[in-house]
Amino acid sequence: MQQLGMGQAVNQALREEMRRNSEVFIAGEGVGVGIHVNPMFPTTGLLEEFGSKRVRDTPVSEAAIAGLAVGAAEAGLRPVVEIMFNPFITLASDMIVNHAAKLRYLSGGKSSFPLVIRVKTGAGFGAGCQHSHNLEAWLAHCPGLKVVMPATPADAKGLLKSAIRDDNPVIFIEDMMLYFAPGPVPEEEYLTPIGKADVKRPGGDVSLVTWGNMLGVAFKAAERLAQEGVEVEVVDLRSLVPLDTETILESVRKTGRLVVLHEATRTGGFAGEVSAVVMEHAFGELKAPLRRVTGPDIPVPASPTLERFYIPDEEQVVTAVREIL
Amino acid sequence: MQIPVEKKREMLWTMILSRAFSDTLSELCKTQGRVPGMMILSTGQEAVGSGVCAALLPEDVIVTNHRSHSHLLAKGADPRALMAEIYCKSTGCNKGKSGTLHLAVPEVNAPCTSTVVGAGLPLAVGQAFAQQYREERRVTVCFFGDGAADEGSFHEALNLASLWRLPVIFVCENNLYAGAQRYEEHTRTRHVADRAEGYAIPGEVVDGNDVLAVYASLTKSRQRALAGEGPTLLECKTYRCHGHSESDPQHYQPEEEIRSWRGKCPIPRLSDNLLAEGRITRDEIREMQAKAEAMVRDAVSFAEASPYPLAEEALEDVWAD
């Protein structure tokens, strides 16, 4: 099987969908000719294959980029636009929150908005808090938006293809640290369903629910705990909206214990939602209080020592699991 | 510019219909609880929507804003479906989801109404992009007020539309007030149209109470857009005869100013012109008025007789299947 980074997997998904449907186009800052030249990046080579009509470099203009997507989608195109870094969605947020998410509802179901907004995210590259800020919980809080946050290259490819074919607005969040973590990606065409979590590692003692870049941390923690005889079940949500509550509850009912892990900050983070779902539906089956392992409630700092402190690590996960065993 | 007499009569009709519509709503607002929500009317500004839409073809797209009624009527929206939506009834064009402020009528190519000031411009850029991408012979018009020109979205949209030569016409309906602020209290730019120069596109100031001038300018900018020459910023100078909404006491608008602008009403301005040219009779004008009033009365009866949506319908229409 081919080994690809997540950016390369995204690139394959974009190529396949653009070849399949001439109404798919991409737009964003540097999606054609960019300041980052790297074969591991998602839009490398697309301009050469599809030309400047379908690969549109835009000005630094996030509101216009997102508005372009919303307007063009209503008109029937399938835009896939990129917001370079997650914190910059604040500049596009009116178009995303008040328009992409709401205009279908406001039309009484007459119009649909088949658009994808790809957002690059994640801490770990020393850029500081205005480039690194995971805001998936904000987006998940807006009815009308699907929110997808893949953890593996294979899922990224299959989920992005599904997102492009979806008739709803999809926010597709890519953690840039995963661009450089190759993994197996099937050669043949496949779609990964949005709204379906994936048990990435089965186990019977504790459910560890996570998504995005934290899957790697979850695996490391599970490995260490396995050496102590503790079997961790790692559930990768893949999509926050729609949320696959079935898979979460099935796992928790089996293990009776829950740890939720995300890189985003703690207060108002999506771990709260996952925890609430479990408390509402599986309280009686919990053998211990749940635990959250998250980034602390601080902006992502720049210095390597401070940034490492910010990003949750396997030690914190192992500790959390031990506390509830 | 030679404007066919049928076009002129069409514009007179849509202005008369819009006025009957807004006058009726204004009266209804005086009865507590009859029409829900925040009522924002375009009384006195009808020439902008009528002149613009008369210069468009049905396949052209409009993106409008909180002061949308006259634009939508001029684009051909069904008064019954609009009125029922304004009443938030299940028979409304958006099944009670949008109310008076966010009316969406995709069947007449008026798919997006945004009440977020300035938000229509990036949406219009997207619509125009799709038209250019598919090499269609149609254009998009975005209506917005003078206040919207102070939003970042205005500037981002003009820049991108100019850069990509998109077939979009930005129509600023400058009614002299943004909320309670008079024009010169919210910007020092002499005309909104002056901002076009910053984006290397034509900017034109038009008498927004002269429907024929609006029609002529729009026709020219539409041809320009279709020729691939890109967007135009058209500023139609008009006046907000009512408050921002019907609950606004207008204490900040000088009475003399309101009176003077009421004297510049666009409807007699066109009908007098047609009468002078012998293109219409007083009886025909009276017939138009009677017909418009009857249509609006019928729309109100339809809306009042219609049921509210069932509570659980609130859960529908969030997602496309």
**B1 has pLDDT over 90:** no
pLDDT, tens digit (0-9, with 9 covering 90-100), for A234-247: 999 999 999 999 99
| pLDDT over 70, % of chain B | 100
Phi first, then psi: give them for residue A259, nearest 5 degrees: -125, 130
pLDDT value for A122:
92
Residue type at position B307: P
Q: Is A293 in a helix, a strand, or coil?
A: strand
Q: Report which of A263, A270, A260, A264 is spatially closest to residue A233, judged by C-alpha positions.
A: A260
Beta carbons within 8 Å of B51's beta carbon, 6+ residues apart: B11, B210, B211, B212, B213, B214, B215, B218, B236
pLDDT value for A37:
87
Q: Read off the tokens for B219.
A: 């026709």
pLDDT value for B33:
80
**A291 has pLDDT over 90:** yes
Distance from CA of A78 to the nearest CA of B (A): 10
Other C-beta atoms within 10 Å of B314: how many? 12
| pLDDT over 90, % of chain B | 97
Cβ–Cβ below 8 Å for B153 and A71: no
User: Could you give the CA distance from residue B221 to residue B231 in angstroms, rounded to a whole number?
Assistant: 8
pLDDT, tens digit (0-9, with 9 covering 90-100), for A87-128: 999 999 999 999 999 999 999 999 999 999 999 999 998 999
pLDDT value for B172:
98
Cβ–Cβ below 8 Å for B112 and A167: no
Output the average pLDDT for chain A. 97
Beta carbons within 8 Å of B39's beta carbon, 6+ residues apart: B25, B26, B29, B100, B245, B246, B247
DSSP letter, residue B91:
T
**B90 has pLDDT over 90:** yes
Give the confidence band of B36 by pLDDT, cuts at 50, 70, 90: confident
Residue type at position A34: G
Beta carbons within 8 Å of A249's beta carbon, 6+ residues apart: A277, A278, A281, A282
Q: What is the largest CA-CA distance in chain B?
A: 57
DSSP letter, residue B68:
-
Mean pLDDT confidence for A3-22:
98
**CB of A108 within 8 Å of any CB in chain B?**
yes
Residue B78, judged by CB atoms within 10 A of its CB (0-12, 13-18, 19+), counts as: middle
Give the CA-trace dihedral at A87, A92, A98, A100, to 10 degrees.
-100
> For residues B318 and A143, is the Cβ–Cβ distance under 8 A?
yes
Residue B4, judged by CB atoms within 10 A of its CB (0-12, 13-18, 19+), counts as: exposed
**CB of B316 within 8 Å of any CB in chain A?**
yes
Return the beta strands (E) in chain A as ranges: 2-4, 24-28, 55-57, 78-83, 116-121, 146-148, 170-175, 183-185, 198-201, 206-210, 232-236, 239-241, 258-265, 291-295
pLDDT value for B99:
96
| Domain assignment of residue B318, yes or no | no
What CATH number should be reported for the domain whose range is A2-185? 3.40.50.970
**B32 has pLDDT over 90:** no
pLDDT value for B31:
86
- How many distinct structural domains can be found in chain B? 1
Cβ–Cβ below 8 Å for B119 and A76: no
Residue corresponding to tokens 């607002």: B29
Residue tagged active-site, from A99, A131, A133, A262:
A131
**Chain A 122-151, CB below 8 Å of chain B: which residues?**
143-144
- Residue B165 backbone class (left: φ over 0; alpha: ψ -120 to 50; beta: rest): left
Strand A258-265 and strand A206-210: pairing? parallel
**CB of B163 within 8 Å of any CB in chain A?**
yes
Q: Which chain B residues have a beta carbon less than 8 Å from that of A73?
A: 126
Q: Is B173 in a helix, a strand, or coil?
A: strand
- Residue B141 backbone class (left: φ over 0; alpha: ψ -120 to 50; beta: rest): beta
Distance from CA of B88 to the nearest CA of A (A): 11
- Enumerate the β-bridge partners of residue A83: A119
| Domain assignment of residue B312, yes or no | no
| Domain assignment of residue B311, yes or no | no
Q: Which CATH architecture has domain A198-324?
A: 3-Layer(aba) Sandwich (3.40)
pLDDT, tens digit (0-9, with 9 covering 90-100), for A13-62: 999 999 999 999 999 999 999 998 899 999 999 999 999 999 999 999 99
pLDDT, tens digit (0-9, with 9 covering 90-100), for B202-261: 999 999 999 999 999 999 999 999 999 999 999 999 999 999 999 999 999 999 999 999
| Domain assignment of residue B209, yes or no | yes
Q: Which chain B residues have a beta carbon less than 8 Å from that of A77?
A: 129-130, 133-134
DSSP letter, residue A73:
H
In A, minimum Cα distance to B89 occurs at A108
Q: What is the largest CA-CA distance in chain A?
A: 58
Mean pLDDT confidence for B257-286:
97
Cβ–Cβ below 8 Å for B98 and A72: no
Distance from CA of A61 to the nearest CA of B (A): 6
The partner residue sitting opposite A105, judged by closest CB among B119, B163, B318, is B318
**B64 has pLDDT over 90:** yes
ipTM attached to this prediction = 0.96
User: Could you give the CA distance from residue A317 to residue A320 in angstroms, rounded to a whole number?
Assistant: 5
Q: How far is CA B75 from CA B4, B103, B188, in A?
A: 18, 13, 33
Q: Report which of A61, A79, A82 is spatially closest to residue A70, judged by C-alpha positions.
A: A79
Return the residue in A107, A112, A165, A194 with the most chain B beta carbons within 10 A, the one to mutate for interface testing.
A107
The partner residue sitting opposite B156, judged by closest CB among A64, A108, A168, is A64
- Domain extents in chain A: 2-185, 198-324
| Domain assignment of residue B134, yes or no | yes
pLDDT value for B198:
98
Sheet (strand B140-145) strand order: B112-113, B61-64, B140-145, B168-174, B232-237, B203-207
**Chain B 22-61, CB below 8 Å of chain A: which residues?**
61
> For residues B144 and B178, is the Cβ–Cβ distance under 8 A?
no
pLDDT value for A295:
98
> For residues A87 and B145, is the Cβ–Cβ distance under 8 A?
no
In A, minimum Cα distance to B164 occurs at A58
Domain that holds residue B173: 5-302
User: Which stretches within B55-182 are classed as H helix?
Assistant: 69-74, 79-86, 120-133, 152-163
Q: Which chain B residues have a beta carbon less than 8 Å from that of A58?
A: 160
**Chain B 70-109, CB below 8 Å of chain A: which residues?**
92-98, 102, 104, 106-107
**Contacts A–B by Cβ distance under 8 A:** 147
> For residues B22 and B43, is the Cβ–Cβ distance under 8 A?
yes
The partner residue sitting opposite A106, judged by closest CB among B61, B98, B124, is B98
Residue-wise burial string across B124-163, b where 16 or more C-beta atoms lie within 10 A, e elsewhere? bbbbbbbbbbeeeebbbbbbbbbbbbbbebbbbbbbbbbe
Q: Report which of B2, B5, B1 is spatially closest to residue B277, judged by C-alpha positions.
A: B5
**CB of B114 within 8 Å of any CB in chain A?**
yes
**CB of B186 within 8 Å of any CB in chain A?**
no
The DSSP annotation for B224-281 comes to: HHHTT---EEEEEE----S-SSTT---TTS-HHHHHHHHTT-HHHHHHHHHHHTTSS-
Cβ–Cβ below 8 Å for B104 and A106: yes
| Domain assignment of residue B310, yes or no | no
| Domain assignment of residue B316, yes or no | no
**B10 has pLDDT over 90:** yes
Mean pLDDT confidence for B100-129:
97
Output the average pLDDT for chain B. 97
Question: CATH code at B93?
Answer: 3.40.50.970
Cβ–Cβ below 8 Å for A99 and B125: no
How far is C-alpha A283 from the geometric centre of its chain's CA atoms? 28
End-to-end alpha carbon distance in chain A: 38
**CB of A99 within 8 Å of any CB in chain B?**
yes
Q: How far is CA B240 from CA B53, B71, B175, in A?
A: 20, 15, 5
How far is C-alpha B24 from the geometric centre of its chain's CA atoms? 17
pLDDT, tens digit (0-9, with 9 covering 90-100), for B159-184: 999 999 999 999 999 999 999 999 99
Residue A123, judged by CB atoms within 10 A of its CB (0-12, 13-18, 19+), counts as: buried
DSSP letter, residue A99:
I
**A160 has pLDDT over 90:** yes
A198-324 matches A2-185 in CATH topology = yes
Q: Which chain A residues have a beta carbon less than 8 Å from that of B100?
A: none
Q: Is A141 a catalytic residue?
A: no
